[in-house]
Copies of this chain bind each other. A is one copy, B any other.
Amino acid sequence: MHVTKPSPTARERIVAGAADMISRRGLNATSIRETAKHARAPLGSTYHYFPEGKQQLATEAVRLTGAWAARSLREELEAGPVAGLRAFLDLWRGIVMDSDFRAGCPVLAVSIEEPPADETPLALAAAAGVFEEWEGLLAGSLREHGVEPEQAAQLATLIVAAVEGTVAMCRAKRSTQPLDHTAAQLQALIVGAIRD
C-alpha cells in the first residue's frame, strides 16, 4: 500500500513559512508580503486565509511549531525523560545548525515582542500555551519516573527555559557549544532527579 504525502496547501505553506521567518527575524520584522512571496502565494490569499491579519497568522505559526515539537517530544518521552530531553535538544540543534545559526524558536520570538496596545495579544497567549504544553509533557514523564510533582513541574520549567535560552545564545555566539553545555547539565540533573 502506497500513501502519497499530500502536497501542502497554499495555506499550510504560508503558515510554515511564517513560522520560519519569525524564527529568524522576529515577529515585527516578518512582513505579510514577504511571507506570501516566500510561500509563492499572492498577498491577497494571505488575507483570504487569515482574515484577522497578522495576529492570526502569527498565532497559527506558533501553534504549528508547538505541535510539531510536542509530537516529537511525546514520542521520545516514551523511552523516558532522558531520551525526551535528548530529542528536544536535537530538534533545536538541527534548526540552529541547518540555518547556519540564523533560525531559532518562533515561540520565543513571539514571546518577547510587546504586542500593539490596541489589540488582544492572541499570538502571545498561544506562545504561553505552547510552553505549558511542553512543560506538561516533560513534567508528566518525570512524575511517571518517580519524581515528586512539584519537583517535576519545576524541573520541566527549567528544561524548557534553558533550551530556549540556549538556542538564542547559540545564535549570538554562532556556536553550538552552549547546547553542549546545557545538554550535559540537564541530562545529569534529570538522572539525579529520577534516582531519588
Contact = CB atoms under 8 A, between A and B. Distances in A.
Interface of A: 24-29, 102-104, 107-114, 124-125, 127-128, 131-132, 153-155, 157-158, 160-166, 168-169, 171-174, 177-178, 181-182, 184-186, 189, 192
A157 B169 contact: yes
For the complex, would chain A's binding face be called helix, strand, loop or mixed by DSSP majority?
helix
Nearest to A62: B172
A164 B160 contact: no
A173 to B, nearest CB: 4
A25 B124 CA distance: 13
B173 A131 contact: yes
Contact of A104 (B112, B161, B173, B181): B112
Given A157-B181, A181-B153, A181-B157, A168 B28 contact: no
A192 B196 CA distance: 14
A184 B125 CA distance: 25
Contacts of A103: 114
Contact of A171 (B24, B102, B111, B177): B111
A172 B131 contact: yes
Given A128-B173, A132-B173, A109 B112 contact: yes
